[in-house]
Amino acid sequence: MNGSAAPTIRADALTKRFGDFVAVSDVSFEIRAGEIWGFLGPNGAGKSTTIRMLCGVLSPTSGSAEVLGFDVARDPEEVKLRIGYMAQGSSLWNDLSVQEHLRFYAGLFGLAGTKREDAISHWLKRLDLYGQRARLAGTLSGGYRKRLALACTLLHEPQMVFLDEPTSGVDPLSRREFWDIIVALAEAGTTVLVTTHYLDEAEHCNDLALIYDGKIVASGTPESLKRDARNGITAEILSPDTVRVLDAIETQPFVASAGLYGSALHVCIRERDGLDRLSQFLQEHAIPVDSIAQVTPSLEDVFASLVGKR
Ligand SMILES: Nc1ncnc2c1ncn2[C@@H]1O[C@H](COP(=O)(O)OP(=O)(O)OP(=O)(O)O)[C@@H](O)[C@H]1O
Ligand SMILES: [Mg+2]
């Protein structure tokens, strides 16, 4: 990662309206070269819409963005040539084979001759698609469709890659493979913007931004987000009746969020004396608990405390 270079992406007050509805509101951020930048947020928060503006396929209502030095509104074609974009929905043709897809994308990005064949063979092998190369995309399983879409995205070695939920519907071992590839790309200097709903995956990112209702509500490294004092404390409660505890506390004003975490209950409180208040509340209401302790919040806790009660 090169900290002194110009950022690969600079978004400045990026906004998208659909009629009266504001899908993305005043979003600003920078992504440095070689970084894995994770974009998190609940369904409908505005992640895909932001990505589509950055890829030059949707024009911003206001604000601006530069990708690899090109303005996305003024030079969308320059942007499209230099990036890889794996859209959230399938962009495959059911009646083209795996190999035909790769040949098509290679042509689109000007790869020819041995360079084209080498790239295709590399990604067929790397994504375990070689045995499937003659199959029609329409007959592939969901996970293999994702593999093919990823191969098509990376074939031309773009400097900047946008991956919109690359691993949704992908089995756990394959997810790990996808992330090995993403990490290797970044190590080789490629910049990656990735969205995911799997918060364990977000731990692989150098930087994260949380978007909610079209606005970025938090950003930072996974570590700094977890440390952030605004999140107060996270308490872990063990109880013989977790559901009763959850019912009792989740509506309390001092509780930012509460939810099951394995067999325990995790409660986020945005106050330093949160643990005392929680203990006192449980005692006063004679709610039985086995233990209550402050724990290091997981990203899931951070996420829940920021968007859980809004
Ligand atoms: N073309 C469109 N016309 C009208 N509304 C749209 C359009 N595209 C997106 N939206 C709305 O904008 C909001 C943001 O959608 P977006 O797809 O960016 O969310 P997202 O964060 O990617 O969600 P998900 O996690 O479900 O993929 C949603 O309310 C969506 O319905
Ligand atoms: Mg989306």
- CATH assignment of the domain containing 235: 3.30.70.980
Of 225, 254, 282, which marks where a domain is finished? 225
Provide the pLDDT for residue 271: 80
Same domain for 259 and 247: yes
Q: Give yes or no for residue 113 having a pLDDT over 80.
A: yes
Q: What is the number of structural domains in the chain?
A: 2
Rounded Cα distance between 232 and 164, Å, is: 31
Question: Domain with 47 in it: what CATH number?
Answer: 3.40.50.300
List the domain range (segments joined by +) for residue 153: 9-225
- Answer yes or no: do 60 and 128 share one domain: yes
Q: In this structure, are 69 and 117 located in the same domain?
A: yes
**Is 208 part of a structural domain of the chain?**
yes
**In angstroms, what CA-CA distances link 4 with 7, 186, 222, 283?**
9, 17, 22, 54
Atom index in ligand 1 nearest the CA of residue 165 equals 27
Write down the pLDDT at residue 272.
Answer: 77
Which atom of ligand 1 is nearest to 19's Cα? 4
Q: H-helix or E-strand containing 260?
A: strand 257-261
CA–centroid distance, 237 to ligand 1, in Å, is 36
Please, are residues 199 and 299 in contact by the beta-carbon 8 Å criterion?
Answer: yes
Could you tell me if 181 and 104 lie in one domain? Answer: yes
Give the span between the Cα atoms of 208 and 221, in whole angstroms.
Answer: 6
Mean pLDDT confidence for 35-57 = 97
Q: Distances from the Cα of 143 to the Cαs of 147, 163, 170, 175, 211, in angstroms? A: 6, 15, 5, 9, 27
In a domain, 2, yes or no: no
Query: Could you give the strand order of the β-sheet that contains 36-40, starting from the edge strand earlier in sequence?
Result: 83-86, 160-164, 191-195, 36-40, 207-212, 215-220
Query: What is the model's pLDDT at position 2?
Result: 45
CA of 209 to the centre of ligand 2 (A): 14
CB–CB of 59/53 below 8 Å? yes
Residue 4 covered by a domain: no
For residue 56, being part of any structural domain is answered with yes
Q: Which of 167, 193, 225 is the last residue of a domain?
A: 225
What percentage of the chain reaches a pLDDT higher than 70?
96
Kindly report, residue by residue over 129-183, the tens digit of the pLDDT. Answer: 999 999 999 999 999 999 999 999 999 999 999 999 999 999 999 999 999 999 9
CA distances from 282 to 4, 267, 297, 304, 307 (A): 51, 13, 21, 21, 24
Q: Are residues 67 and 143 in the same domain?
A: yes
Do 104 and 189 sit in the same domain of this protein? yes
Q: Are residues 134 and 200 in the same domain?
A: yes
Task: Indicate the SS3 state at residue 214.
Answer: coil
Domain endpoint, select from 204, 225, 246:
225
Instruction: Please state the three-class secondary structure of 15-65 as a single string.
Output: EEEECCEEEEEEEEEEECCCCEEEEECCCCCCHHHHHHHHCCCCCCCEEEE
pLDDT classification of 279: cutoffs 50, 70, 90: very high
> Exposed, middle or buried: residue 234 (CB in 10 Å: 0-12, 13-18, 19+)?
buried
**What is the structure's pLDDT at 231?**
58
Overall average pLDDT of the 229-244 stretch: 84
% of the chain at pLDDT higher than 90: 79
User: Is the Cβ–Cβ distance between 92 and 148 less than 8 Å?
Assistant: yes
Residues 181 and 38 in one domain: yes
Judge whether 27 lies within some domain: yes
What are phi and psi for residue 210, nearest 5 degrees? Answer: -105, 125
221 and 232 inside one domain = no
The span from the CA of 153 to the CA of 160, in Å, is 10
Q: Which of 17, 20, 49 has most ligand 1 atoms within 8 Å of CB, for mutation?
A: 49
**Residue 292 is assigned to a structural domain of this protein:** yes
* Domain annotation covers residue 1: no
Residue 262: per-residue pLDDT: 84
Q: Which atom of ligand 1 is nearest to the CA of 51?
A: 18
Average pLDDT over residues 79-101: 94
Q: If you measure from the C-alpha of residue 296 to the centroid of ligand 1, how many angstroms do you get, rounded to a whole number? A: 33
* Ligand 1-lining residues (CB < 6 angstroms): 18, 21, 23, 41, 43-49, 88
Q: Is the pLDDT of residue 115 over 90?
A: yes
Q: Mean pLDDT score of the chain, rounded to an integer?
A: 92
Do residues 220 and 258 share a domain? no
Residue environment code for 192-206, b if the CB has 16+ CB neighbours within 10 A, otherwise e = bbbbbebbebbebbb
Classify residue 3: in a domain, yes or no. Answer: no
**Region of 274 on the Ramachandran plot (φ > 0 left; ψ -120 to 50 alpha; else beta):** alpha
- Do 56 and 123 share a structural domain? yes
- Indicate whether 191 and 259 sit together in one domain: no
